[in-house]
Structure 1
């Protein structure tokens, strides 16, 4: 592709030194990936400015540098832009020939439930005969191949490259507020956009709930002209979004308990939800426990039905759903103790996870959880209060340090435990694996041990048991327990 075909509009004649007939071999914001013929885009990150890597990019063969700083005397042409992140999306869209226009694009946003809804949608559509790629938190899956992911929403170059590689008909994408705010989806357009909820999270980044909401709402400005929004009308922020999109004359499908919703939730029971759609009632059975997953399934069929999945087929289609790593993942120990690994890390999600265990017959609940280093501190008191109100006992431990020291986080735990007056019902064990071991050792038959906050994620710290995830720690303790049982007999 020629350079003139890739540059953003309005910049075609900016430099007499630029040979616009040059062939572009690639685009990147990583100087290590620059090959001869590449465009390098210098991004101002939160830790460092990509401009410091410009000389390396030139040495590696870059034919054009794009950035936000005033730079002169470079040995290759330089294009100064107002927003380099947005420019990445514009250039990637042109270089990869606008791949989102050729796919059925489904974007899912919300504080909680994005991953589960995405997995549900993919499963339903595949049963209907579609081929489906997914881009999200746990992994990306393109043409049936699972690819490791770093961010929930990759940057625009990665997204366009994945879409170009995909031969699948549908792409389901988890869309984070940071991804939207950082223009990682610039140039991507969606056929369907889902809003599930907005709850207290990421306020260290967004500062206010209003700012957080406005970032989420950006997804719905990326709908194709005939695109459809599917929105949870039981969420107060969802109602606000519905009003806005309706005023903009966008097509909106609402999901909720009120009679005026297109998909009305009539009742929620332990493992099924009864919904009304066009004056017909359907019982949808969820393969995952919890009232929240009944709602997640209802949101999922809201878009899947638009693509031809019959409501009466939802329960049979979901009967072979195998679960999701780190999303209320259940382990049964030999001593009749149930252990759950779940990603819950907001006050509402913690409450929902514990209530799910209660509704499934937990005798006692022992919860292992913690706070994320330097991240959003404004939600911590509500997190601890919710856990202690619903659990029999709790262990505070490390979720992830994010640059904070163990000693600093420990001091935070001591202070907040005192502030919430829960010293008698909580212990602090900073080694996560030892906290899990202690919780399992104290559990009795019929008890549930909830390991919350990490979900599918690997540990970033080195712990005493030398395991790499909550799942590995549970497996280690399972094997240890089986060996002890053998010895006792």
Structure 2
């Protein structure tokens, strides 16, 4: 199975070498059929040579000459919009349900999502084959590793693009996105248009399961950790692991996997890769690790590599960020960046919006804004905050509507254990009614919480209460949203946790300024 997968990608890379060039993309309808090993029917001979003008799975975006791929979503089915696509001038319809009598050629496929990726890759001439591609996956740490790696690679003299949760950055410009891993058509389009030598990207389990990386191959793949999350989508941790593992069998010939084996799932992945003959560098505390961790704390990580001791100072506080730093540096070294240059570059790292983002108040209290949204990430964050500051910890957080409810008690337990008090509040409601989410917060607090906690549904009010009651040396830790904007309105017109903190501190005459 793995060999078959590798051969398929090698075939695609061959196509890159044969036909890749910058300029106008030329793909004909006949070639689309051939991509799926289907002989174009003679009844379509009159359109065989017609050139495709684009690929889309959104009928609203169809323009004349495009291929419309009918994909079944969670709320809508693309097959219901085939007639609309035809009216707008689609040159070819791709799907897996009989569309009936339509005026446009129809190509039947078993997996429209996968077909969409294959079409996008072919249309944009398999652009990943011309770049050094780095994929980072795991429950926590993806954003930190990609930002660190981007900084290190550019410090090493290579131009680097970055795709991920906070923003997408290509050709020196920011492109806003809405998913950790972009849609497959956008992904191939962006790679085609990118002039960057290296692309480092976050890879989500959803993206892997939904074929959003179809046609992409990687030079380096990184595994950070696996913790309970997204079990509303994956039915078990085993399925979650299997989804993440797919990335590591999408490597180019001579590719390299970097795996954190201090995580039990990472240890299993490392063994799996080794058994399959895949190249893997393990980073962990065991003597058998390729890079053996000797000592790690909030400030950095000491490790043994080939009998020599080295040390990296992490630019973001927290033991978990020291692990992230090691993995980013290990990947950068594979690209030829020296340890000496990385040690220097880490000192100039600018930080990441919403990742251990710190502020100091005029009253001597402190604020940390972070994206932490699992029990383990909350525990690690609160522990790091407790070691950094001597005062009491107030933790403000909530839960997302229509997301994995099974992790909520564990998140509350982590907060109860490692903070002096918590305030449960709203995160994104998504489609859950306000009253329903508020009731679920109160119920969880009564069943699983403790006397040091409270429920304040309005997020701005919760932050206001936490800031106003803080004292010198205390720290208010705000998790869940990180860099993200609010999806619903609160009683004061602020758009994010950062804006709320900055505005409320001025309002209560406490004052605020960023701190390191």
Instruction: State if a TM-score over 0.5 links the two structures.
Output: yes
Q: What is the aligned counterpart of 1:447 among 465, 469, 474?
A: 474
Alpha-carbon distance change, 469 to 421 in structure 1, aligned in 2, over 3 angstroms: closer
**1:86 Cα deviation from its structure 2 partner:** 0.2
Indicate the residue corresponding to 1:47 in structure 2: 75
Please say which of residues 31-40 and 199-208 is displaced more in the overlay. 31-40
- Name the SS for the 1:373 alignment partner: coil
- Name the SS for the 2:426 alignment partner: strand
Distance 1:414 1:270 in 2: 34
**1:407 Cα deviation from its structure 2 partner:** 1.3
**1:317 Cα deviation from its structure 2 partner:** 0.8
Distance 2:444 2:491 in 1: 26
**1:442 Cα deviation from its structure 2 partner:** 0.9
**1:101 Cα deviation from its structure 2 partner:** 0.5
Alpha-carbon distance change, 199 to 484 in structure 1, aligned in 2, over 3 angstroms: closer
Please say which of residues 266-275 and 347-356 is displaced more in the overlay. 266-275
Distance 2:154 2:327 in 1: 17
For the Cα contact (< 8 Å) 1:105–1:191, is it kept in 2?
A: yes
Distance 1:362 1:55 in 2: 65
Alpha-carbon distance change, 33 to 149 in structure 1, aligned in 2, over 3 angstroms: same
- Name the SS for the 1:203 alignment partner: coil
Distance 1:15 1:293 in 2: 60
Equivalenced residues, count: 484
Q: TM-score, normalised by structure 1?
A: 0.97
Indicate the residue corresponding to 1:318 in structure 2: 346
Give 4+ residue runs of structure 1 displaced > 6 Å after superposition.
Answer: none
- Name the SS for the 2:267 alignment partner: helix
Trace 1:81-480 onto structure 2 (pairs within 5 A). 81-422=109-450, 424-480=451-507
- Name the SS for the 1:410 alignment partner: helix
Q: What CA deviation, in whole Å up to 9, does each residue of 1:425-464 have, x standing for no partner?
A: 1111111000000000111110000110000111001011
Distance 1:213 1:56 in 2: 39
**1:483 Cα deviation from its structure 2 partner:** 7.6
- Name the SS for the 1:47 alignment partner: coil
- Alignment of 1:31 with 2:63, yes or no, is no
Distance 2:449 2:402 in 1: 23
Distance 1:132 1:373 in 2: 35
Distance 2:443 2:206 in 1: 30
Distance 2:184 2:297 in 1: 41
Distance 1:294 1:414 in 2: 36
RMSD: 1.4
**1:313 Cα deviation from its structure 2 partner:** 2.6
For the Cα contact (< 8 Å) 1:263–1:302, is it kept in 2?
A: no
- Name the SS for the 2:398 alignment partner: strand
For the Cα contact (< 8 Å) 1:15–1:77, is it kept in 2?
A: no
Indicate the residue corresponding to 2:30 in structure 1: 4
**1:110 Cα deviation from its structure 2 partner:** 0.1
Alpha-carbon distance change, 92 to 344 in structure 1, aligned in 2, over 3 angstroms: same
Gaps of 5+ in 1: none
